[in-house]
């Protein structure tokens, strides 16, 4: 039987502290489900890419070197989607200072990486995990439109 703990944000946590710790420890930094979904969709359309390309700032999750496109597959929580909504909820949580600091720094780092890549002439595309899961074809379409626009620009 699972012990339910109430966190400071008035949300009941159905996991014990040990279970939550184990879950958080197992969160992967690469080859996540969302990355694999997007990579499979790109591969099936004939696109070839590099994974976690360490030669670029931020080691983008997917890199289309031929087109100079760096793609990041961002999880909503750790990259602060809807930060204006998430931050106040985190302020009520047990480890608010830790999480607000961590996610704020992640958001700042994302911006820094975007700027570095743009300065180096790369196109940066960031997708939220839920968008990849629910709208994979639309995500691929964004990538294909970017490639198409680059090809048109190269023709002039």
Measured CA to CA in angstroms, residue 11 lies from 6, 22, 55, 90 at distances of 6, 19, 42, 11
pLDDT at 82: 87
pLDDT at 8: 38
pLDDT at 16: 79
> Do the Cβ atoms of 57 and 14 come closer than 8 Å?
no
In the block, tokens 């489900």 appear at 33
pLDDT at 9: 42
Low-confidence ranges of the chain (pLDDT < 50): 1-12
pLDDT at 5: 31
pLDDT at 84: 85
Cα–Cα dist 41/60, whole Å? 17
Q: Locate the domains of the chain by residue range.
A: 28-155
- The CA angle 81-70-29, to the nearest 5 degrees, is 60
Span 107-152, pLDDT tens digits: 999 999 999 999 999 999 999 999 999 999 999 999 999 999 988 8
Q: 28-155 belongs to which homologous superfamily? A: VSR Endonuclease (3.40.960.10)
pLDDT at 3: 36
pLDDT at 14: 66
């Amino acid at each position: 039987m699972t012990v339910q703990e109430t966190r400071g944000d008035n949300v009941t946590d159905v996991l014990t502290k040990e279970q939550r710790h184990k879950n958080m420890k197992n969160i992967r930094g690469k080859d996540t489900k969302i990355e694999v979904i997007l990579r499979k969709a790109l591969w099936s359309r004939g696109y070839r890419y590099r994974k976690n390309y360490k030669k670029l700032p931020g080691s983008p999750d997917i890199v289309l070197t031929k087109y100079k496109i760096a793609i990041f597959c961002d999880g909503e929580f750790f990259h602060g989607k809807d930060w204006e909504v998430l931050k106040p909820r985190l302020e009520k949580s047990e480890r608010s200072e830790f999480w607000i600091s961590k996610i704020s720094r992640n958001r700042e780092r994302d911006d820094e990486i975007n700027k570095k890549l743009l300065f180096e002439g790369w196109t940066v595309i960031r997708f939220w995990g839920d968008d990849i899961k629910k709208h994979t074809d639309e995500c691929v379409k964004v990538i294909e439109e970017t490639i198409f626009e680059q090809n048109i620009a190269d023709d002039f």
